[in-house]
């Protein structure tokens, strides 16, 4: 699936690298990284030669290789989305993972049957309702191979399972995998690191 959500059915066809169309034929914003749906503006850097860095950067981005963190400071600024834009695939993903991991971190050690049922319902709703449909479909496939039912019995088990599901997406996107022990999960999502910098 490359670095962005890409089609897993005929309704989502990429028009240029990284851009995914929704069922309405328009770019699907929550399936696409902003840098792909909003090409960089041309920006002259050398008045005499007329050369531009904007065009070069745009070509690199459209070739699918660029990421925000790999850009120069100027290009990074150009890629920065205004805060009131709809979320792209990355912002939606970060917000969703934050919600899910934090919810798991504060899930009870001994959940009641109702809490378990609600957690299961929440997790199972993602494949059906997640705004990035290709992402949701792949997550659903992963959940069918690794059913959540066995893992909602405690906060530690749920945190581990969710971390593994996140790692599955990380692997797909070529990102770093995380250690899924409760110590690592709590340091990131509940207590903060041992050096106290989050206190």
Which one of residues 62, 120, 126, 131 is an interface residue with ligand FAD (CB under 6 A)? 126
H-helix or E-strand spanning residue 96? helix 89-105
Which one of residues 29, 36, 38, 101 is an interface residue with ligand FAD (CB under 6 A)? 101
Q: Is 32 in the site for ligand FAD (CB under 6 A)?
A: no
**How far apart (Å, rounded) are the C-alpha atoms in residues 79 and 73?**
10
**How far apart (Å, rounded) are the C-alpha atoms in residues 9 and 179?**
32
Q: Is 138 in the site for ligand FAD (CB under 6 A)?
A: yes
Q: How far is the CB of 89 from ligand FAD (least distance, A)?
A: 5
CB 155 within 8 A of CB 109: yes
What's the first-to-final CA gap in the chain, in angstroms? 38
Q: Is 139 in the site for ligand FAD (CB under 6 A)?
A: yes
Q: Is 52 in the site for ligand FAD (CB under 6 A)?
A: no
Q: For ligand FAD, which is the closer residue by CB, 30 or 40?
A: 30
CB 58 within 8 A of CB 39: yes
Q: For ligand FAD, which is the closer residue by CB, 43 or 124?
A: 124
Identify the bridge partners of residue 21 per DSSP, sorted by sequence position.
27
Which x/- pattern, by CB under 6 A, does the window 154-193 give for ligand FAD? ---------x--xx-xx--x-x--x---------x-----
Q: How far is the CB of 159 from ligand FAD (least distance, A)?
A: 8
Q: How far is the CB of 101 from ligand FAD (least distance, A)?
A: 5
**How far apart (Å, rounded) are the C-alpha atoms in residues 190 and 25?**
41
Identify the bridge partners of residue 14 per DSSP, sorted by sequence position.
20
Identify the bridge partners of residue 20 per DSSP, sorted by sequence position.
14
How many alpha carbons lie under 13 Å from residue 90 in its C-beta half-sphere? Answer: 17
* Of 21-29, 39-47, 91-99, 108-116: span binding ligand FAD (CB under 6 A): 91-99
Q: Is 88 in the site for ligand FAD (CB under 6 A)?
A: no
Q: How far is the CB of 126 from ligand FAD (least distance, A)?
A: 6
């Amino acid at each position: 699936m490359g670095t962005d959500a890409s089609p897993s059915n005929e309704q989502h066809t990429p028009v240029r690298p990284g851009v995914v169309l929704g069922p309405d034929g328009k770019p699907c914003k929550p399936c696409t990284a902003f840098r792909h749906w909003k090409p960089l503006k041309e920006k002259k850097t050398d008045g005499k030669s007329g050369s531009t860095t904007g065009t070069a950067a745009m070509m690199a981005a459209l070739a699918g290789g660029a990421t925000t963190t790999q850009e120069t400071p100027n290009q990074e600024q150009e890629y920065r989305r205004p805060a009131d834009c709809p979320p792209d695939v990355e912002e939606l993903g970060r917000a969703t993972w934050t919600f899910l991991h934090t919810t798991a971190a504060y899930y009870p050690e001994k959940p009641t049957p109702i809490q378990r049922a609600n957690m299961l319902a929440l997790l199972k709703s993602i494949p059906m309702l997640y705004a990035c449909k290709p992402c949701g479909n792949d997550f659903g496939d992963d959940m069918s191979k690794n059913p959540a039912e066995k893992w909602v019995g405690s906060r530690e088990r749920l945190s581990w399972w969710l971390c593994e599901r996140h790692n599955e997406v990380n692997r797909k996107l070529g990102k770093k995998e995380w250690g899924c022990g409760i110590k690592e999960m709590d340091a990131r999502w509940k207590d903060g690191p041992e050096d106290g910098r989050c206190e």
